[in-house]
């Protein structure tokens, strides 16, 4: 049993490393938006390292489940690591997607990056950070912070869409850049869905069941 507990703690530490790497990718992705500096090379360099770690972590989880046949809280902890690992992998792909689209409109003569989009990006990254910290510390109050941010992002996304529509109406030649910005906004909005899923696993660890989406409110 001691060996199993130590193995689970090692899984947890591995997941924390992956969290740190992905938060770095997200920070670079937001810089691509707000500072008009392409961070795509840095992000693409980091992603395969994240992928390799995520695959190794998944294999370790499955190995423990097969060989140790854990039950109760131990089973929940391993299952949560597996699920959170999957959510983080999805977030890493979105970070690349944001940077790829940002690299296109950074070279455009138009400047359509709205205040709403920048705020939306920072809030989404904050949501990921809050959900990760909530999971690491098993802190339900921080999980609620991630759920609250999700509600704000929905409103900000609508504001960004309106801003892009107005920009295209005023200048039809801006449609290409607006399309890239729209893809960025879509990816940013998806970040909070995945971070909300991570936060929900805090509830799962403590109560043994996944919190339904309709209940994920602050």
- For the chain, 218 residues long, give each residue's pLDDT as a single digit of tens: 558 989 999 999 999 999 999 999 999 998 887 776 778 899 999 999 999 999 999 999 999 999 998 998 899 999 999 999 999 999 999 999 999 988 876 555 555 566 778 888 899 999 999 999 999 888 988 888 888 888 889 888 888 888 888 888 888 877 888 888 899 999 999 999 999 999 999 888 888 777 777 666 65
CA proximity to 131, closest of 86, 77, 185, 194: 194
CB atoms within 10 A of CB 56: 12
Cα 61 to Cα 66: distance, rounded to the nearest angstrom:
9
Contact 131, 195 (CB under 8 A): yes
CA proximity to 11, closest of 45, 49, 47, 62: 62
Superfamily of domain 2-215: Phosphate transport system protein phou homolog 2; domain 2 (1.20.58.220)
Q: Residue ranges of the domains in the chain?
A: 2-215
Maximum Cα–Cα distance across the chain: 67
Residue 111, pLDDT score: 58
* Positive/negative CA dihedral, 82, 213, 155, 112: positive
Question: DSSP secondary-structure letter at 138?
Answer: T
Question: DSSP secondary-structure letter at 35?
Answer: S
Residue 155, pLDDT score: 85
Residue 205, pLDDT score: 87
The 3-state secondary structure of 176-201 reads HHHHHHHHHHHHHHHHHHHHHHHHHH
């Amino acid at each position: 049993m001691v060996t199993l507990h130590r193995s689970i703690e090692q899984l947890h530490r591995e997941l924390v490393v992956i969290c740190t790497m992905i938060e770095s990718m997200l920070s670079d992705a937001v810089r691509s938006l707000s500072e008009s500096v392409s961070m795509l090379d840095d992000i693409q360099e980091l992603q395969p390292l994240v992928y390799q770690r995520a695959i190794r972590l998944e294999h370790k989880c499955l190995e423990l489940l097969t060989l140790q046949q854990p039950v109760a809280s131990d089973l929940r902890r391993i299952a949560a690591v597996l699920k959170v690992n999957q959510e983080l992998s999805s977030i890493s792909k979105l970070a690349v997607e944001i940077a790829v689209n940002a690299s296109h409109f950074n070279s455009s003569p138009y400047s359509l990056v709205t205040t709403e989009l920048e705020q939306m990006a920072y809030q989404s990254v904050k949501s990921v950070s809050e959900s990760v910290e909530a999971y690491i510390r098993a802190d339900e109050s921080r999980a609620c912070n991630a759920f609250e941010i999700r509600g704000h992002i929905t409103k900000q996304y609508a504001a960004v869409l309106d801003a892009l529509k107005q920009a295209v109406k005023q200048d039809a030649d801006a449609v290409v850049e607006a399309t890239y910005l729209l893809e960025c906004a879509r990816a940013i909005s998806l970040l909070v869905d995945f971070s909300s899923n991570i936060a929900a696993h805090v509830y799962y660890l403590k109560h043994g069941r996944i919190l339904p989406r309709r209940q994920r409110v602050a």
